[in-house]
Amino acid sequence: MMDKYQLYERSVQSPSAHLSCFLSIYQDIYHSEPRRLREDFCGTFILSCAWVKRSPRNYAWVVDLDPEPLEYGKKNHWQHLSQPEQKRLSILKRDVLLTTQAKVDLVVACNFSFFIFKERKILLQYFSSCLKSLRNQGVLILEMAGGPGMITSTREQKTVKDQEKFVYIWDQKSFDPITHDAKYSIHFKLANGTQLKNAFNYHWRLWTIPEVRDLLEEAGFKRSIVYWESTLNGEGTGEYVSMEQGDNAYSWIAYIVGVP
Ligand SMILES: C[S@@+](CC[C@H](N)C(=O)[O-])C[C@H]1O[C@@H](n2cnc3c(N)ncnc32)[C@H](O)[C@@H]1O
């Protein structure tokens, strides 16, 4: 039977799309290529494995508190890397709030994971700590989601068809307009009828972009840039461009970038 991490990766992760997006953001800001990546809230760190495979000059540090996804990543991704690639990837089982000694070009927090920090002072601590781990020409890239489509109680499902078929269900359970606390779950239905209910559960605070930008400034970032998805005939293109005003999309994903 497929593991819940395998189901998750196949449903929501696309390392090559994420990496292309991060490279183009870095290129846009510094007109050069980043080499040292820190992947925060890395889970099974499929992204960083793809990163070290891309070039012998690429290094990665992956950070997560939970040994379970880290172990899955080791067995299923890291073990398939060549020895030199393995040496260029460091696995850190620790809190992302702690500063890492290695200074990097990119710190990335994908799939809205930093929404786990609900208190302003803790999010500020996270941003300050990221800033200390960045090189002069570094960036912190925060993937955010929002819009009315993220707060209505709803379930969305899609059938994932490559290899073994299964159904992925994104369940928006609750949203509190006073605290912005939001609860989401992921369920899976396998082809043999097996159901994995609440395979992943998220208790987040749905931060807004201006709140995050204010906190980046307070943490000491010189500027922040919002990369918003460009549209063509009302449809998202999958390309992100820096913008100071966005369209009022029903649901959106954006990258908020802190520049030291
Ligand atoms: C939604 S998963 C992200 C998986 C993957 N990075 C992605 O983009 O899809 C969130 C991960 O953050 C980890 N996590 C939560 N709080 C953390 C913290 N304070 N420090 C390090 N990792 C944390 C959890 O263990 C979990 O693996």
The two three-digit tokens of residue 114, written as one number: 């930093």
Q: Is the CB of 65 under 6 A from ligand 1?
A: yes
State the distance from the centre of ligand 1 to the C-alpha of 41, rounded, in angstroms.
Answer: 3
Look at the block and give the residue holding tokens 């690639």.
85
CATH superfamily to which 4-146+206-259 belongs? Vaccinia Virus protein VP39 (3.40.50.150)
Residue 234's pLDDT is 79
State the distance from the centre of ligand 1 to the C-alpha of 32, rounded, in angstroms.
Answer: 29
d(CA 170, CA 163): 21
User: Whose C-alpha lies nearest to ligand 1, atom 27?
Assistant: 43
Give the mean pLDDT of 39-43. Answer: 98
Domain range summary for the chain, segments of one domain joined by +: 4-146+206-259, 148-204
Q: For residue 14, is pLDDT > 80?
A: yes
What is the percent of the chain where pLDDT is above 90? 93
pLDDT-based confidence at residue 235 (cuts at 50, 70, 90): confident
Residue 162's pLDDT is 77
Residue 254's pLDDT is 97
pLDDT-based confidence at residue 232 (cuts at 50, 70, 90): confident
Q: Say which residues have a Cβ less than 8 Å from residue 3's Cβ, sequence separation at least 6.
A: 72
Residue 139's pLDDT is 98
State the distance from the centre of ligand 1 to the C-alpha of 141, rounded, in angstroms.
Answer: 15
d(CA 179, CA 257): 25
Residue 231's pLDDT is 85
State the distance from the centre of ligand 1 to the C-alpha of 40, rounded, in angstroms.
Answer: 7
pLDDT-based confidence at residue 126 (cuts at 50, 70, 90): very high
pTM value > 0.85: yes
Q: Is the CB of 133 under 6 A from ligand 1?
A: no
| Ligand 1 pocket test, candidate residues 9, 41, 170, most atoms within 8 A of CB | 41
